Chain A
Amino acid sequence: MTEPLLDARALSKRFGATTVVDALSFRIDGGECLGVIGPNGAGKTTSIRMCLGLTPPDAGEIRALGLAMPRDALAIKAQLGVVSQFDTLDPDFSCAENLLVYGRYFGLPEPVIRERIPRLLEFAALSHKADARPGELSGGMRRRLSLARALVNDPRLLVLDEPTTGLDPQARHLMWERLQVLLQQGKSILLTTHFMDEAERLCHRLLVLDHGRGIAEGRPRDLIAQHLEPDVVEAYGNGALDLASSPLTALAGRTEVSGETVFFYTQDARPLLDLLAREHPRLRVLHRPSNLEDLFLKLTGRQIREGA
């Protein structure tokens, strides 16, 4: 059996009396994209920081690329590409200079970096912005420059902490497209995200985190099938909330209320939809397949988290 690219075992991290990460284990195999999802404060960023050797775990073990973190941190990072949650681009440098200077941190020979720069800019759809500074770029361009910068050492594993947060749909789709290209090239990705469509589109496997613990793990479709009924019927409008305590709930496997909306999770939506159309024609009804967002909310609850 081949050793996984990244293997984290029983990681724990405490800050004072708060346990931020609690006995968390996960692994990433070659060519795989693992998505880590969880509410704010679930421990996603701390887990990533431990994997990057930026903060030592209080307990547990991390192996990456056949080496031990944090002992071999520098040797591991020589083969990693990292896009952190907030841009750390150099505002005083042009896009091309950002790539050049970053390549030097890896000890790459100057000609190698200079040869890679045009290709990286092209990959990031920034060839026309080679001489522009980050301050002159849009948010999406800056994120793509960060991605290009993370690729300067031709890494085997990419670690991306919320790479598309704050981007408009066009910029987000372009980022997804680029990440899919990287996966096709055989790179592995560790990704944290708040976007369930992003997780579903890119990730082979998902790890759901809450309160520092891994509460579910698996392929996105399997997780949904395992935890949820396949259909969702949402009803909202005047009197919708009364449905939650009506005999109608017998037609659903599970009923949930959030704000002014009632969610019916069901194996078969037809009888429920017929009944709603007949007896409550004024309600607004939406019928859709259950998705990752439903799973996420079922597993981690609907209440707003600290800092959200």
Chain B
Amino acid sequence: MTPSNPSHWRPPQLSWRWWPVFRRNLLVWRKLAIPSLIGNIAEPLIWLVAFGYGMGALVGRVRLEGTEVPYILFLASGSICMSAMNAASFEALYSAFSRMHVQKTWDGIMNAPVSLDDIVLAEMLWAAYKALFTATAILAVMLALGISYSPKLALAWGVLAAAGITFSCIALIFNALAQGYDFFTYYFTLFLTPTMFLSGVFFPREQLPELVRIASAFLPLTSVVELVRPMFMDRWPAQPLLHLAVLAAYTVAAFWVALALTRRRFAA
């Protein structure tokens, strides 16, 4: 009998068994939560203070869909999206890679009745959780600073959770391909940094040259910002379904690719 080797691209086979893996990461993190919390929110706050109050004084107000908003509000609503993206990416790259490759934690787990698919799902959800945790902490600080009191922030919080999931999935593709930590520098400098500047976090995308602006509309962070920013101003996003569909498409495609590449890595 010759068994047919299943394709790495077969559909994900997911089960509840991701939960103990997620719980494992939670247990490790609980021991380090306070220092990591400070690290997670200090940097975005430095951005906010330096750019929001510093640059904000020069920029004054920004025109947005017919009205003018203070630059600090414009920046805060964009930078929280960026923070969610960065937190998810960092966790799904450096931390996941440590567990997968350096500590061989995944190998140990796979000797128990937990499939690789469920491990990848757990890591994805874990990185998204970290992103949501960071975003929540920043949101709390923004509320304390009185930047926005919009009730729609509750929905924005849900969008940030979705953003965490999307960027975790994308990052896990690069995790699956990495031979060492150095590889992630490319991801950060060639993808995340341009994304940060082209997605309307720091300035309206209308300022970009025509071609770049059109291309930037397809970046996942653009959709996140387009969804989150209006809600900071107590308005509804202009095209919510379109942007949610973009995020969903990125998420499904990226998870599928990440899983296929991870399966290939582990089958060798």
Residues on A close to B: CB < 8 A?
A: 15, 52, 54-61, 70, 73-75, 77-78, 80, 82, 84, 86-93, 97, 101-102, 104-107, 150, 153
B211 at the interface (CB under 8 A from A): no
B112 at the interface (CB under 8 A from A): yes
Q: Which residue of B lies closest to A101 (CB)?
A: B24
Q: List 8 A-B contacts (CB under 8 A).
A: A54-B267, A58-B5, A61-B3, A73-B113, A88-B107, A90-B24, A101-B24, A105-B17
> For the complex, what is the distance from the CA of A305 to the CA of B31, rounded to whole Å?
45
B20 at the interface (CB under 8 A from A): yes
Chain B residues closer than 8 Å to A74, beta-carbon distance: 17, 113-115
7 shortest interchain CB distances as A-B pairs: A88-B108, A105-B112, A82-B111, A104-B20, A74-B113, A77-B113, A88-B104
Q: Which residue of A lies closest to B15 (CB)?
A: A74
* Contact among B1, B27, B266 with A61 in the assembled complex (CB-CB below 8 Å): B1
B103 at the interface (CB under 8 A from A): yes
> For the complex, what is the distance from the CA of A90 to the CA of B21, rounded to whole Å?
12
Measured CB to CB, the closest approach of chain A to B79, in angstroms, equals 31
* Contact among A55, A60, A86, A106 with B267 in the assembled complex (CB-CB below 8 Å): A55
A104/B113 contact (C-beta < 8 A), A56-B6, A88-B104 known = no
Are B2 and A59 in touch, CB under 8 angstroms? yes
> B10-40, CB under 8 A of A: which get 1 and which 0?
0000000100110110011001000000000
Beyond A84-B107, A105-B109, A105-B112, 10 extra complex contacts between A and B, CB < 8 Å? A56-B6, A57-B3, A74-B17, A77-B113, A88-B111, A91-B103, A93-B27, A101-B24, A102-B108, A106-B113
> For the complex, what is the distance from the CA of A59 to the CA of B31, rounded to whole Å?
47
> B87-118, CB under 8 A of A: which get 1 and which 0?
00000000000000001110111111111000
* Contact among B28, B115, B267 with A92 in the assembled complex (CB-CB below 8 Å): B28
* Contact among A15, A73, A92 with B31 in the assembled complex (CB-CB below 8 Å): A92
A59/B105 contact (C-beta < 8 A), A105-B112, A105-B114 known = no
* Contact among B1, B20, B115 with A101 in the assembled complex (CB-CB below 8 Å): B20
Measured CB to CB, the closest approach of chain B to A113, in angstroms, equals 11
The A interface, classified by DSSP as helix, strand, loop or mixed, is: loop
Chain A residues closer than 8 Å to B31, beta-carbon distance: 92
* Contact among B5, B21, B110 with A56 in the assembled complex (CB-CB below 8 Å): B5
> For the complex, what is the distance from the CA of A60 to the CA of B27, rounded to whole Å?
41
Are B28 and A90 in touch, CB under 8 angstroms? yes
Measured CB to CB, the closest approach of chain B to A253, in angstroms, equals 43
Chain B residues closer than 8 Å to A92, beta-carbon distance: 28, 31
Q: Which residue of B lies closest to A75 (CB)?
A: B113
Measured CB to CB, the closest approach of chain A to B10, in angstroms, equals 12
Chain B residues closer than 8 Å to A55, beta-carbon distance: 267-268
> For the complex, what is the distance from the CA of A91 to the CA of B102, rounded to whole Å?
11
* Contact among A77, A82, A90, A153 with B103 in the assembled complex (CB-CB below 8 Å): A90
Chain B residues closer than 8 Å to A91, beta-carbon distance: 103
Measured CB to CB, the closest approach of chain A to B118, in angstroms, equals 9
Measured CB to CB, the closest approach of chain B to A79, in angstroms, equals 9
Measured CB to CB, the closest approach of chain B to A157, in angstroms, equals 12
A54/B115 contact (C-beta < 8 A), A88-B105, A93-B28, A104-B23 known = no
* Contact among A15, A59, A84, A107 with B111 in the assembled complex (CB-CB below 8 Å): A84
> For the complex, what is the distance from the CA of A54 to the CA of B111, rounded to whole Å?
9
Most buried by B among A101, A105, A106: A105
> For the complex, what is the distance from the CA of A82 to the CA of B112, rounded to whole Å?
8
* Contact among B27, B115, B267 with A97 in the assembled complex (CB-CB below 8 Å): B27
Chain B residues closer than 8 Å to A56, beta-carbon distance: 3, 5-6, 267
> For the complex, what is the distance from the CA of A74 to the CA of B112, rounded to whole Å?
8
> For the complex, what is the distance from the CA of A57 to the CA of B6, rounded to whole Å?
11
Chain B residues closer than 8 Å to A105, beta-carbon distance: 17, 20-21, 109, 112-114
Q: Which residue of A lies closest to B23 (CB)?
A: A104
In B149-196, the 8 Å CB interface with A consists of none
Measured CB to CB, the closest approach of chain A to B73, in angstroms, equals 40
> B110-132, CB under 8 A of A: which get 1 and which 0?
11111100000000000000000
Measured CB to CB, the closest approach of chain A to B15, in angstroms, equals 9
Chain A residues closer than 8 Å to B266, beta-carbon distance: 54
Chain A residues closer than 8 Å to B24, beta-carbon distance: 90, 101, 104
> For the complex, what is the distance from the CA of A90 to the CA of B24, rounded to whole Å?
10
Are A77 and B112 in touch, CB under 8 angstroms? yes
> B228-268, CB under 8 A of A: which get 1 and which 0?
00000000000000000000000000000000000000111
Chain A residues closer than 8 Å to B108, beta-carbon distance: 84, 88-90, 102
Are B112 and A52 in touch, CB under 8 angstroms? no
> For the complex, what is the distance from the CA of A89 to the CA of B3, rounded to whole Å?
33
Are A90 and B105 in touch, CB under 8 angstroms? yes
Chain B residues closer than 8 Å to A102, beta-carbon distance: 108, 112
Measured CB to CB, the closest approach of chain B to A94, in angstroms, equals 11
